[in-house]
């Protein structure tokens, strides 16, 4: 649990200053401020500027809260509620009782107002089950009604066949008592679970804006027939990773929301034979007027990747494609590399990202970005300039294993050259920080 503050700090009187002009002791200027303004100032002391997980919501460095609280009683009264901003419940199970969960429940029962300070609830569950009459689930279910201002819910684990009923009951309780819930992130831990049908039935949340799901599975016999009357989802941002299922399930999920503005499909646990970029385009076509960000990972592991026509996606501003999608384009004998700009450059596309990451865990090789890749980028940029496209930036995600480095070439020299060539035309080239500087590369032995 991240919440540890239930005992008030020691009694320290507010320091005072003495005005030399009249010798009358006065409180420092900061103590003359109203609580509302002082709260904003103290918040700046504990805010976490480096948090990347919840970039839409502020988070705090809980280790700094005691230092501020012990300054004086007034600081303590103002700052301690911030420690309830993020509540993290670890190892939630029906086997191990958590004393901290029970203490937290008592704290909220004694002072219900503290629960309103929680904006983020994170639950990490063990995929085990035993039959005990009173367990962590009971206490967490009692805590949830106090957390009416939660905006972000994160649940990791608990979606296996033995305990998914308890987990989904808990999630439904959250959606019932959290009227401001905007973001839900679900992660599967066990080999199976996190069924798409369960997600669509369990997340009927009218305020939901962001859905992140990692490890979705779907069987051939998934009960999609019972979803016929389900309401359209309100979320506009969808992030998927580690998908393991059928193309039919992906289609159901993409058709669920009314209008997507951001769709990220990063990786797959296994190849989905029926799914390629052209099929995905068909699934996303209903969102062509709203989709601004599209990020597609490794749909194709082997063979030739096929591009599709995205020029009709009139709102698209940022497009990310995996290296696997451009295999056919990079084939010197295919004769197809000249039409990439016609297919990909929509009327508002400003950023094109080319990702060389291997999501299957294997490191990228130094040789994966060479003259052939640089030539494709040059052709693509030339076409963008010729057609006066909206394209402003081409970003390359290429972080090879340093041990694979050779003295033949430094790949980022090619990108710097492209940037020098096209920046006068309004197209900038950028790339991830190289794992080896050029100076260190020059020191390599032949």
DSSP annotation string for 79-143 = HGGGGGSEEEEEEE-SSS--HHHHHHHHHHHH-GGGGGG--EEEEEE-S-----SS-HHHHHHHH
pTM of the model: 0.83
Instruction: Please name the residue that has the structure tokens 């859905």.
Output: 211
Q: Which domains does the chain have, with CATH numbers?
A: 1-84 (no CATH), 85-194 (no CATH), 276-446 (3.30.870)
Report the pLDDT value the prediction gives residue 345, as an integer from 0 to 100.
94
DSSP-based three-state secondary structure for 197: helix
Element (H or E) spanning 440, and its range?
helix 438-442
* Contact between 200 and 229 (Cβ < 8 Å): no
Cα(69)–Cα(429) distance, integer angstroms:
48
Residue ranges of the chain whose pLDDT lies below 70: 1-28, 49-58, 91-99, 127-135, 219-229, 268-273, 300-305, 331-338, 359-361, 445-446
Cα(101)–Cα(124) distance, integer angstroms:
13
Report the pLDDT value the prediction gives residue 325, as an integer from 0 to 100.
80
Q: pLDDT (tens digit, 9 = 90+) per residue, 183-237?
A: 999 999 877 778 888 999 899 999 999 999 998 887 655 555 555 567 899 999 9
Cα(446)–Cα(441) distance, integer angstroms:
11
In 3D, which of 195, 182, 203 has the Cα closest to residue 56? 182
Q: pLDDT (tens digit, 9 = 90+) per residue, 119-150?
A: 999 998 876 655 444 467 788 999 999 999 99
> What is the DSSP code (8-state) at residue 14?
P
Please list, in sequence order, all residues whose beta carbon lies within 8 angstroms of the beta carbon of residue 322, skipping any fewer than 6 positions away. 296, 297, 298, 299, 300, 305, 355, 357
Cα(383)–Cα(379) distance, integer angstroms:
6
DSSP-based three-state secondary structure for 371: helix
Q: pLDDT (tens digit, 9 = 90+) per residue, 244-261?
A: 877 888 898 999 999 999
* Contact between 324 and 366 (Cβ < 8 Å): no
Separation in Å, CA 85 to CA 268, 345, 397, 424, 429: 33, 43, 34, 47, 40
């Amino acid at each position: 649990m991240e919440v540890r503050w239930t005992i008030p700090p020691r009694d320290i009187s507010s320091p005072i200053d003495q005005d030399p002009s009249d010798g009358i002791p006065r409180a420092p200027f900061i103590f003359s401020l109203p609580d509302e303004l002082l709260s904003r100032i103290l918040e700046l002391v504990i805010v976490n500027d480096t948090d990347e997980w919840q970039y839409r919501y502020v988070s705090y460095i809980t280790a700094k809260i005691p230092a501020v609280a012990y300054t004086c009683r007034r600081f303590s009264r103002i700052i301690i509620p911030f420690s309830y901003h993020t509540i993290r419940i670890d190892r939630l199970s029906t086997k191990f009782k958590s004393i901290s969960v029970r203490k937290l429940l008592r704290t909220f029962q004694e002072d219900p107002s503290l629960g309103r300070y929680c904006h983020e609830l994170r639950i990490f569950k063990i995929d085990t089950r035993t039959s005990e009459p009173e367990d962590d689930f009971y206490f967490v279910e009692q805590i949830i009604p106090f957390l009416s201002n939660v905006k972000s819910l994160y649940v990791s684990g608990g979606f296996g066949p033995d305990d998914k009923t308890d987990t989904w009951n808990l999630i439904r309780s959250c959606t019932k008592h959290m009227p401001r819930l905007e973001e839900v992130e679900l992660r599967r831990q066990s080999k199976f679970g996190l069924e798409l049908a369960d997600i669509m039935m369990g997340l009927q949340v009218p305020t939901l804006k962001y859905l992140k799901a990692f490890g979705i599975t779907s069987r051939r016999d998934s009960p999609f027939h019972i979803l016929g009357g389900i309401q359209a989802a309100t979320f506009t941002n969808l992030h998927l990773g580690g998908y393991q299922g059928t193309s039919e399930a992906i289609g159901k999920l993409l058709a669920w929301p009314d209008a997507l503005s951001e769709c990220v499909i990063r990786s797959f646990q296994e190849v989905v034979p029926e799914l390629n970029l052209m099929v995905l385009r068909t699934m996303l076509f209903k969102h062509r007027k709203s989709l601004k960000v599209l990020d597609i990972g490794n749909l194709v592991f082997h063979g030739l990747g096929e591009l599709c026509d995205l020029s009709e996606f009139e709102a698209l501003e940022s497009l990310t494609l995996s290296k696997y999608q451009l295999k056919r384009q990079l084939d010197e004998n295919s004769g197809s590399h000249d039409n990439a700009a016609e297919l990909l450059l929509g009327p508002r596309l400003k950023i094109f990202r080319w990702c060389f990451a291997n999501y299957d865990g294997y490191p990228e090789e130094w040789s994966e970005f060479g003259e052939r890749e640089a030539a494709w980028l040059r052709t693509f940029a030339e076409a963008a300039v010729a057609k006066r496209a909206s394209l402003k930036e081409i970003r390359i995600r290429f972080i090879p294993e340093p041990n694979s480095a050779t003295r033949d070439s430094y790949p980022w020299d090619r990108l710097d050259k492209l940037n020098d060539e096209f920046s006068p035309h309004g197209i900038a080239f950028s790339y991830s920080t190289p794992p080896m500087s050029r100076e260190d590369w020059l020191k390599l032995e032949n």
